[in-house]
Amino acid sequence: MRYLLLFLLPLLLLSKPFKVATYNVENLFDATFQGSEYEEYIPGRHNWNARMVEIKLNHTAEVICDLDADILGLQEVENSDIFRQLIAKLKRVGCPYRYSAITHKKGAPIQVALLSRYPIKREHDIQVSYSPNVRNILEVEVEVHGKPLTLFVNHWKSKAYKGYESKRIKYAKALQARIAKLSSLKEYIILGDFNSDYNAYLTLEEKIDDTQGRTAFNDVLQTKVGEYLVDEVMIQKAKRGTHYSLWLELPMDERWSHKFYGKKSSLDQIVVPQKMFDGKGIDYINNSFKVYKADYLFTKKGYINRWQYKKGKHRAKGYSDHLPVFAYFDTQPYQKNMTQKVQLPKAIKNISYLYGVEKLDKPIELQNVVVLLKRGRNAVVKQTPSGRGVILYGCAGKLQEGHRYDILIESIKSYHGLKEISQAYMLKNKGSVVNIKDFYAKENALYADILKQNEVLHNIVGIYQDRYLMTKGQKIPIYFKKKKLTPKNGSRLKIAYAHVGYYKKLQLVIYSKKDFKIVEN
């Protein structure tokens, strides 16, 4: 028995969790002219030179070292030359990766790559298209503690520059076609930058929807079945080709790794099949999916500290516009929760319900909301003329002022006392509203001092004085979102539209110059 234990001990020591991650490094280019570079990365222009490359390599290596993943998929690596420089840099700073692979798409500006601490047994490019602008998918088989594991590293077409959904569907179809050819016993992980949210069917914009709402990530990759996203319970009994996005492991308001003009998205993903939950070979470690959020990856104002390119020059500062995401896997069987994370069906509620809760534990549907005021990606909505109003902050892109909708709410928050919906999606447009004036706050509410936050005032007159509006004996704080619009003291204002906001106390918020005019100074 003693000799048996001595024999098994090395195997037991090797059997430990391992970390899989993906990271879009944001344009890791070298200083050698290839002819396929993006304009901003042509050597000798825009301050892009050997010194700048060295700084970019240092910053990229810093993140990779601190992330400390055993297997790491990378996106936006120019070519094998800069990839070798990165590997050498990692070795010099004490974070070596012995094994690596990269795609070889001829003429493509950027490739996808993989770093591994486990032996690579084989690698293969999955060609999506002959076009150099369509990146290959990297397929790599590694051996983890004696067990084979296949990784698919992806970087799908972005939504910018005519990024129609049909272009991402080509990637998803190529990937699914390859998966269909694998042995039914094959274990694999899909990861990368998909340029699609985990709930792509809700976030697909009309201007790039050329597929009648059919999405690459949810429909073709089968991360959604019927009206439900594939959750942790469904995946354990799922058929081949069905996949589970690990974003569903996190609370709804934490599901993001990329932020563009304040809009949060979940483009970077780790996606797994049923084989990662079957108690055989390699399994997913429950609740281990996370976003890597080192302090230095954020600016003082809370923005992602991306690589800085301003006024036509590289500034030698920042890291990437994406955050890494990671998850742990093991050769030990998957452990279910005592209470499984069952996907709860959405509940139909009213706006008043939102004022009684601090956060949502499941999506809710608000029916028949009327958009009273829409400025940029913000909108104030109500369901009935006498009911409560609420602001959709940064998530009202598809909505139109004066229209009625059913909307799905996934996240709310309070900002210095102001109740906000921070994540919402349009479910149904029910057309324009004839009697929208009935939904504005009544003037007597203002003068009787019974006004509530998230109402919209229409056609009021007063005098501006030291950040207050003086009207009929009332003194109300007023805030102009654009400082340059602030009128001079003593100006007589006629306000067409004002949002009754809240910043530690009630205040009127004026969003644009069309919302008021100066009638007398």
Domain limits, the chain? 19-330, 347-437, 441-520
- The Cα–Cα gap between 439 and 383 comes to 9
Can you tell me whether residue 366 is helix, strand or coil? strand
How many residues can be counted in the chain?
521
Can you tell me whether residue 439 is helix, strand or coil? helix
pLDDT values of the chain reduced to their tens digit, one per residue, 521 residues: 444 444 444 444 456 899 999 999 999 999 999 999 999 999 999 999 999 999 999 999 999 999 999 999 999 999 999 999 999 999 999 999 999 999 999 999 999 999 999 999 999 999 999 999 999 999 999 999 999 999 999 999 999 889 999 999 999 999 999 999 999 999 999 999 999 999 999 999 889 999 999 999 999 999 999 989 999 999 999 999 999 999 999 988 899 999 887 789 999 999 999 999 999 999 999 999 999 999 999 999 999 999 999 999 999 999 999 999 999 999 999 988 755 555 666 789 999 999 999 988 888 999 999 999 999 999 999 999 999 999 999 899 889 999 999 999 999 999 989 999 998 999 999 999 988 999 998 777 766 567 889 999 999 999 999 999 998 888 899 999 999 999 999 999 999 999 999 998 999 999 999 999 998 75
Q: How many CB atoms lie within 10 A of CB 238?
A: 18
Three-state helix/strand/coil letters over 320-352: CCECCEEEEEECCCCCCCCCCCCCCCCEEECHH
Sign of torsion, CA 164 165 171 173? negative
- The Cα–Cα gap between 297 and 25 comes to 12
Cβ atoms of 73 and 191 within 8 Å: the answer is: yes
- Please give the CATH superfamily to which domain 347-437 belongs: Bacterial OB-fold (2.40.50.200)
- The Cα–Cα gap between 390 and 352 comes to 9
* Domains 19-330 and 347-437 belong to one CATH topology: no
DSSP state for residue 85 in the 8-state scheme: H
**What is the biggest distance separating any 2 CA atoms in the chain, rounded to whole angstroms?**
98
The CATH number for 441-520, chosen from 2.40.50, 3.10.350, 1.25.40, 1.10.10, is 2.40.50
- CATH architecture type of domain 19-330: 4-Layer Sandwich (3.60)
Q: How deeply is 120 buried, as exposed, middle or buried, from its count of CB atoms within 10 A (0-12, 13-18, 19+)?
A: middle
Which residues, in sequence order, are bridge partners of residue 329? 18, 284
410 residue type, one letter = E
